[in-house]
Amino acid sequence: MKKDDCIFCKIANGEIPSRTLYEDEAFRVILDLGPATKGHALILPKDHADDLYELPDQTAAAALVLAKRMITLMKDKLHCQGFNLVQNNGEAAGQTVRHFHIHLIPRYEDDGQHINWKAGSPSGEELDAVKAQIVE
């Protein structure tokens, strides 16, 4: 299902033009207009889901298989040295477009980009407490 006011629904379903790298009945893969590096692409499902929580399992599985296929092709064509897959859920995590998408970000030696976090240094007790909060 599409959502009326969603720009990625419109792009995924061809109502707004995009630089499409791949398309099938369930997905469109486009170049990001604000690329982190050369070739930065987005996998968009054609059916609307706000985020990964809402995405049907079958679509989630197919999206990762497609990501593997795309980065294998792009690695060959772009001669990049690495790839980051980034997938943001929620404003706090940096999601700016509320239509599920996976970023495919080619990485090049010395590309000057940083997709990193500052490592914390919790105590063993703190890690145990987090584990208990999640699974006990």
Per CB under 6 A, residues contacting ligand AMP are 7, 18, 30, 32-34, 88, 94-97
30 part of the interface to Zn ion, by CB under 5 A: no
101 part of the interface to Zn ion, by CB under 5 A: no
Residue 114 known to be catalytic: no
Kindly indicate which of the ranges 2-10, 55-63, 73-81, 104-112 contains the residues binding Zn ion, using the contact rule CB under 5 A. 2-10
Nearer to ligand AMP among residue 21 and residue 66 (C-beta): 21
Dihedral, 5, 86, 70, 46 alpha carbons, nearest 10: -20
| DSSP conformational letter for 98 | S
DSSP string, 66-84: HHHHHHHHHHHHH--SEEE
Beta carbon of residue 99, minimum distance to Zn ion (angstroms, whole number): 3
- For residue 106, count CB atoms less than 10 angstroms from its CB and return exposed for 0-12, middle for 13-18, buried for 19 or more: buried
Among 28, 48, 101, 103, the residue binding Zn ion under the rule CB under 5 A is 48
Beta carbon of residue 11, minimum distance to ligand AMP (angstroms, whole number): 6
10 part of the interface to Zn ion, by CB under 5 A: no
Please choose, from the candidates 87, 91, 90, 115, the residue with its C-alpha nearest in 3D space to the C-alpha of residue 102: 87
Kindly name the residue from 48, 99, 101, 103 that is annotated as catalytic. 101
Residue nearest to Zn ion (CB): 6
The residues pairing with 43 across neighbouring beta strands, listed in sequence order, are: 29, 102
Please choose, from the candidates 60, 4, 5, 51, the residue with its C-alpha nearest in 3D space to the C-alpha of residue 27: 60
Write out the catalytic residue numbers.
101
